[in-house]
Amino acid sequence: CEPVPIFEGCPEGSTVQVCFCTQFNIENICNSYGNYSVNDHVKIQPFLDEDYIKYSPAAARQYRPAIIKGTWGGPCECHIEAPYVVWDDNRYTDPLSGGQGDRDIFFTRPLITDTGTYISPIIDAGAKAKWYYLEWWGVTPLGTKITFQTRTGDTPWPDDSWTEWTGPKYDPEIGKWVYDGPAEIVDPNCNLYPESRYIQYRIDLRCCPDCGFPCNVPCISAVKIYYEGGLSPVYLPLILKNYSEVTPPPTSITPNDSYYETYQWNLRRINAPSAWGITTGNDTIIAILDTGVDTGHPDLAAKIVNGYDFVNGDSDPSDDNGHGTHVAGIAAAVSNNSIGIAGVSWGARIMPVKVMNADGEGSHYDIANGIIWAANNGARIINLSLGSQASSQTLQNAVNEAYTKGCLLVAAAGNYYQEGNPVIYPAAYPNVLAVAATGYNDEHASYSEAGDYVDVAAPGGNPESDADTDPNHWIMSTFWRGKGYGDYLWMAGTSQAAPHVAGLAALVWTVNPSLSNDGVASVITSSAVDIGDLGKDDFFGYGRIDAYAAVKMGQTSSVTQRWEKPFRPQPNEGSLPHRPGYVLVRFLPYVTQAEVDELLRDLGATVVDEIPALRVKRLRVPEGRELDVISALEASSRVEYAEPDYLAYAF
């Protein structure tokens, strides 16, 4: 009897209540009709709810019992409405298979080849049968006994018998809430099947926001419990459909950061306080590829590790825009320090990699260079709150290289839903976890890109206009107004949604460092709350992230399968924005340096720099002639690909 978790899933301040409701108060399972020989075609009258057949083969031989249920007439006019399940004396359960006979529709158990006692509950899922008809197919040993059994008792539990959940509540050995009350079948004189005792319960949970009555009742599932081997405690599977599993009700941690309670609704929405009750994270490094980070910000400075500036070509990745500083704070601000904000991961380190300028604009070459640099310098998670409609081979190769090295790449899905909803890269690449944005009420943010490449959603804010001052429509985080100034600002976008996922990945890796990047991605997507159409959809992917559910799942997950998503490349239509005077090229590996020099000399191009890990060179070419140079390079037998140095933007 494997325990199934109870889902908390209630508003803050709720009290979980439970009703143990026996659908039928089982009194006994009796021999209502006695024994019959194997060739008697016996027609029996059923009881009110569920009936049983017990049969004991006298010898090991191949034969089949067939149970035929009819609603009127005779065995030639029967109607089967549900499969039947057989329990044998080894507690082995096997669905009965269906078939079409000469006269009847019937269900049979697969060939029985062992002696022993078998019991089959005949489960009526539709209209009540008026009779059951039993036949044995095959060669049946003499002495085989068949016993028809029916269950007596039909006393429902009152519907209004709600009580608060009381002990024993929690089993620390299995980490689950359990019921360990007695299992009783009250008539000891019945001829009971000794190896399995069947009891049916309906267990209902409901949320009481103010501990009052009546309460809202979510969608409930009825369950069946088998007691094995005597009157021992059993774990009741308590199931609420369409909710994530949460067991036990978590210990929440509330940080003391000054803006947390008033402004950081987003962290409560993803259930971060409950996740912090398990872990606040370790020193996993999150690379923030953006406009830089204010490395002197009082809510960030203690988290900063060495980074790099690919825009200016130096080791000072300071922010001169503010976007990157905002993103970094969401993922991993210094937390519980009585100032400012809390981040998703309190322990994670921030690696600032500046790939975008003061205008929030960067090139694919610089972004690819930053991805490779981060992967080679200790980053385990790479956050990309940037993108554009342009897809480049250089950027995709960088993504694949970093993923091969074990990094998890997280990217914003884009903010252009109302401008035609174009496909956005790098979010749409395989090996990138694409994040859409949600608002305060888990609604799709009006700007957030939608498409089959969206993997999950996270809070990004959903302001009605630039003049909207409702803090619940924005995301509060750290901001730059000058190095070390220590400012904070509201912003909204998929750029704000993505670092929630990056921070969560750091928490998951903290509780299970052995997980691969595939495993972490699978945990995050599998534990998400399905808030859109059932299953994966274009607006929310697999759902809005749930930090607590992900961390709980991550603790025991051993996911090894490849996490994948489809890639449907879109042609770059027209002349998408690119860096003027630059072209990216990858030569075939056997081409000599002399051949490269000759080809470039004829085109009036020179090599500016290169990314050795990708074998891609950045060329300086006459401005306005980028596409001509690309055409000439692609016509050469020495070139694998050539492309513009496309631009990307902060979202």
Q: How far apart are CA 149 and CA 67, in angstroms?
A: 14
Element (H, E) at 306: none
User: Which of 51, 290, 299, 518 is flagged as catalytic?
Assistant: 290
Catalytic status, residue 495: yes
Of 337, 342, 120, 166, the closest CA to residue 252 belongs to 342
CA distance 399 to 159: 57
Are 586 and 610 a contacting pair, CB within 8 Å?
A: no
Question: CA nearest 120: which of 201, 195, 55?
Answer: 55
Contact 599, 638 (CB under 8 A): yes
Catalytic residue among 297, 323, 326, 473: 323
Type of residue numbered 56: S
Length of the chain (residues): 651
β-pair type (105-108, 15-21): unpaired
Rounded CA gap, 77 and 279, in Å? 63
Asked if 323 is an active-site residue, the reply is yes
Encoded tokens for 238: 């308590």
Contact 381, 502 (CB under 8 A): yes
Burial class (CB in 10 A: 0-12, 13-18, 19+), 566: exposed
Instruction: Specify the 3-state DSSP secondary structure of 171.
Output: strand
The Cα–Cα gap between 343 and 221 comes to 37
Give me the catalytic one of 495, 522, 527, 557.
495
DSSP H or E segment with residue 575 = none
Q: Which residues pair with 260 in a beta bridge?
A: none
Distances (CA, A) of 513 to 218, 371, 557, 594: 36, 22, 11, 47
Q: What tokens does 453 get?
A: 């490449």
Show the tokens assigned to 159. Answer: 């519907």
DSSP structural state of residue 419: G
Please report, as a single letter, which amino acid is at residue 219.
C
Residue 367's Cα: distance from chain center in Å?
A: 28
603 dihedral zone (left: phi>0; alpha: psi -120 to 50; beta): alpha
d(CA 114, CA 58): 9
Across 49-158, the runs of DSSP E, i.e. the strands, are 51-56, 63-70, 85-88, 93-95, 97-100, 105-108, 118-122, 131-138, 145-152
Write the CA distances from 542 to 247, 529, 564, 646, integer angstroms: 21, 7, 13, 30
Alpha-carbon radius of gyration of the chain: 32
The DSSP output letter for 532 is S
Residue 472 falls in which region: left (phi positive, over 0), alpha (psi -120 to 50) or beta: alpha
Three-class HEC string of 232-274: CCCCCCCCECCCCCCCCCCCCCCCCCCCHHHHCHHHHHCCHHH
Distance in Å from the first CA to the final CA of the chain: 50
Among residues 288, 266, 344, the alpha carbon closest in space to that of 506 is found at 344
Measure the CA–CA gap between 230 and 183, rounded to whole angstroms. Answer: 8
Active-site positions read 290, 323, 495
